[in-house]
Amino acid sequence: MVWKRSFIQLLFQTIKIHVAFIVIRLYGFIAQQKYPYFYAVSSAVLRLFNSL
C-alpha cells in the first residue's frame, strides 16, 4: 500500500517536527536562564520560523 507508507512517513515527519520544537523550547528556557541575549536572538528566529 503506497498511501500507507506515505502516511507513516508523514506521521514520522510530524513527530520529528514536534520533538524538535519541544527541544528548541526547552533549550530556549535553559538559555533564558543563562544567556538572555542569546535567548532574545533565538526567540526572534523562532518567531520568524513560526510565521512561515
pLDDT value at residue 12: 93
| Letter string b/e over residues 3-38, b meaning 16 or more CB atoms within 10 A of that residue's CB | eeeeeeeeeeeeeeeeeeeeebeeeeeebeeeeeee
pLDDT value at residue 15: 92
Q: One digit per residue, pLDDT tens: the chain, 52 residues?
A: 677 889 999 999 999 989 988 988 888 788 778 777 777 787 888 888 878 7
Measured between alpha carbons, how far is residue 16 from residues 20, 22, 34 in Å? 6, 10, 27
pLDDT value at residue 4: 87
pLDDT value at residue 2: 78
pLDDT value at residue 26: 86
